[in-house]
Amino acid sequence: MLNPLAQELNSVLTNTTPADLFSEMGKRMFFPRGIISQGAEAKKLGKVANATIGMTIQEGKPVILPSVHKAAPELNSSELVAYMPTAGNPELRALWKEKLIQKNPLLKNKNFSLPVVVPGLTAGISYLSDLFLEEGKTLIAGNPSWDNYDLVVNTRTNASLKKFKMFKDGKFNIPELEALVKEEAKTGSVRLILNIPQNPSGYSPTKEEAKELIRIVKETAESGAKVLVWCDDAYFGLNYEDDIEEQSLFAYLCDIHENVLAVKIDGPTKEDFVWGFRCGFLTFGGKNLSDAHYEALVKKLMGIIRSSVSCSSTPSQMILLRAFKDTNIENEKKAFREMLAKRYALAKKFVSTHTNKILTPLPFNSGYFMSFDVQKVDAEILRQKLLAEEGIGTIAIDSNTLRVAFSSIDEEKIESVYTAIYKKADELA
């Protein structure tokens, strides 16, 4: 028997694409009118006393240990240790939405949800899996792909991760993706994750390839299938070539067809160089979805958050809120991005001018990484040899993929690191 609140949200979403895509957990989920909801009401109306939340309050503010406060002296106690709303700081959510429009001009005048704060992009992917995946459901992803997709989708959710070979003849493998999407569409629904820039390859679609991806989604929706597209934009904006599509595919897909629900998974962790802050955002977009529909979707997501971590970290959100208002932040980011671009150029130059018997670089043009297709030996063996004998750490994504994060190699070391990788590979050939 569904909870009445779940029934209420399901009723709001009747005859929408999100409703058709929900997992059984997604159908069951709701945001309870319990402590958090009642506390939010009391925060607005409890002018005499607010005895709802489990914090120690003195003169209207949370108490804070001086030893804690001195580590972040510019933040007051509320900004450091108070609980955050389940969906995140309202001002930060609104500001991130503004930033989405600034970075993706196509979103101007389009109706999409207010972003919801999640404790990192991994959590965002996990929460979407809770809402839309389960045993018998499939998520399509590129191969190679980030290893955590397998852990979340296959192991945690008990769904199926189907992969298409990411590249063919040095380009995004549009034909294989399209064939897999068409086959999946025969079930009545398609769930697809597009990680751009992609981890581990460090590749972003060109403008022409992006048009093809958009076409595939639109034609699939027009065929009658419901399409859920997760835009994993963890490394958004870190582009190093001129022919890359600059806007998120979310900007194109959020209103492309009534049968499409697009979700943007992004955040400042990579874009703004605050990896350990564990602060991400989920944003929903679908043609003809109303504000009431979005509110219902957000409350479903809030139920997932409430039943897992309750809320995201307060200091991270408040520090980011202040930083985003700082007029210097864009110039500061520009300096770091220029540094990454230089490292990319050096890595690109090396692999473009050297050959190896067992290593073939996969296409890369963006992000933090590049990867090698490893043949004749297991990538894990090469990884271990590099670590034990050369003191160089790399990642074996699978038996045929070795990932190298040029982002974490100082410029003056890039040539020597890649030289050692090629040399060790030759020894194993």
Sequential DSSP letters for 25-58: HHHH----SSHHHHHHHHHHH-SS----SSS-EE
Where exactly are the structural domains of the chain? 4-31+86-324, 329-428
Phi, psi at residue 351, to the nearest 5°?
A: -70, -20
3-class secondary structure, 420: helix
Query: What pLDDT is stored for residue 171 in this prediction?
Result: 92
Cα torsion angle, 261, 267, 270, 272, sign? positive
Q: Which residues of the chain have pLDDT under 50?
A: 49, 51
Residues with Cβ < 8 Å from 357, sequence gap 6 or more? 376, 425, 426, 429
Query: Within a 10 A sphere around the Cβ of 136, how many other Cβ atoms?
Result: 11
Q: Residue 125: which H helix or E strand, with range?
A: helix 121-132
DSSP state of 115: P
| Geometric angle at alpha carbon 59, from 57 and 64, rounded to 5° | 50
| Geometric angle at alpha carbon 228, from 227 and 233, rounded to 5° | 135
Instruction: Tell me the Cα Rg of the chain.
Output: 23
Query: What pLDDT is stored for residue 326 in this prediction?
Result: 87
Rounded distance between C-alpha atoms, residue 78 and residue 164, angstroms: 48
Contact 22, 191 (CB under 8 A): no
pTM: 0.91
User: Which structure tokens are listed for 4?
Assistant: 């009445």
Rounded distance between C-alpha atoms, residue 152 and residue 223, angstroms: 29
Rounded distance between C-alpha atoms, residue 320 and residue 199, angstroms: 25
Rounded distance between C-alpha atoms, residue 284 and residue 250, angstroms: 9
The model's pLDDT over 142-174, given as tens digits with 9 standing for 90+, comes to 999 998 899 899 989 999 999 999 999 999 999
CATH fold of the domain at 329-428: Aspartate Aminotransferase, domain 1 (3.90.1150)
Query: What pLDDT is stored for residue 16 in this prediction?
Result: 93
Residues with Cβ < 8 Å from 34, sequence gap 6 or more? none
Residues with Cβ < 8 Å from 111, sequence gap 6 or more? 255, 285, 289, 290, 291, 294
Rounded distance between C-alpha atoms, residue 302 and residue 412, angstroms: 46
Please report, as a single letter, which amino acid is at residue 240.
Answer: Y
Contact 54, 46 (CB under 8 A): no
Rounded distance between C-alpha atoms, residue 47 and residue 303, angstroms: 27
4-31+86-324 to CATH, choices 3.90.1150.10, 3.40.640.10, 3.30.110.30, 3.40.50.2300: 3.40.640.10
Query: What pLDDT is stored for residue 298 in this prediction?
Result: 97
Of the candidates 261, 280, 214, 264, the residue with the CA atom closest to the CA atom of residue 22? 261
Of the candidates 404, 271, 428, the residue with the CA atom closest to the CA atom of residue 346? 404
Same fold, 4-31+86-324 and 329-428: no
DSSP state of 119: S
Of the candidates 120, 172, 167, 117, the residue with the CA atom closest to the CA atom of residue 148? 120
Helices (H), 205-328: 207-222, 249-253, 268-271, 291-306, 314-324
Query: What pLDDT is stored for residue 2 in this prediction?
Result: 84
